[in-house]
Amino acid sequence: MRYYLSLVLLVSMVLTGCTSGTQVTNKHSSSGEEVGSYAALLRINGAEYRSVGTKNKGEYTLSDEIGKVKKRVPPEVLPKDNLVSNYLDEGTLIYSVEEDSDVILVQTEVDGVYEIFKKTK
């Protein structure tokens, strides 16, 4: 009886010890680069805007040019300064729209296609 009790205690201690460690997941691609998914962000006048895609479908009308992206930071960095993005290239044109003050359009490399960014709350 003591033998079985000792065996059960030993097995439970071993199992507990094996599962209490921190698990590390592989966040690297096969080429060794770090991979992850980050939101496309843009900071304008202290407000943060997040990309919601390029499907405008005539919802928004271009208004005034707000400016150009001044600096691009790495994808994992949150933009802190005005006209800084972790997604858009430097020099990318940014426009306001007539329909919604919380939406901006960003010129893409394809003519006539604009990426939509909405202000985060």
In a domain, 31, yes or no: no
54 vs 68: CA distance, rounded Å: 18
User: What is the pTM (predicted TM-score) of this model?
Assistant: 0.68
In a domain, 32, yes or no: no
b/e code 96-111 from CB counts within 10 Å (16+ = b)? bbeeeeebbbbbeeee
Residue 100 is part of which domain span? 40-121
Strand order across the beta sheet in which 114-119 lies: 62-68, 93-97, 103-107, 114-119, 47-53, 41-44, 84-85, 71-72
In a domain, 3, yes or no: no
In a domain, 101, yes or no: yes
When divided into structural domains, the chain yields a total of 1
In a domain, 47, yes or no: yes
Q: Along the 121 residues of the chain, how does pLDDT read in single tens digits? A: 777 667 676 666 766 665 544 443 434 333 344 556 799 999 999 999 999 998 777 889 999 999 999 999 999 999 999 999 999 999 999 999 999 999 999 988 777 789 999 999 8
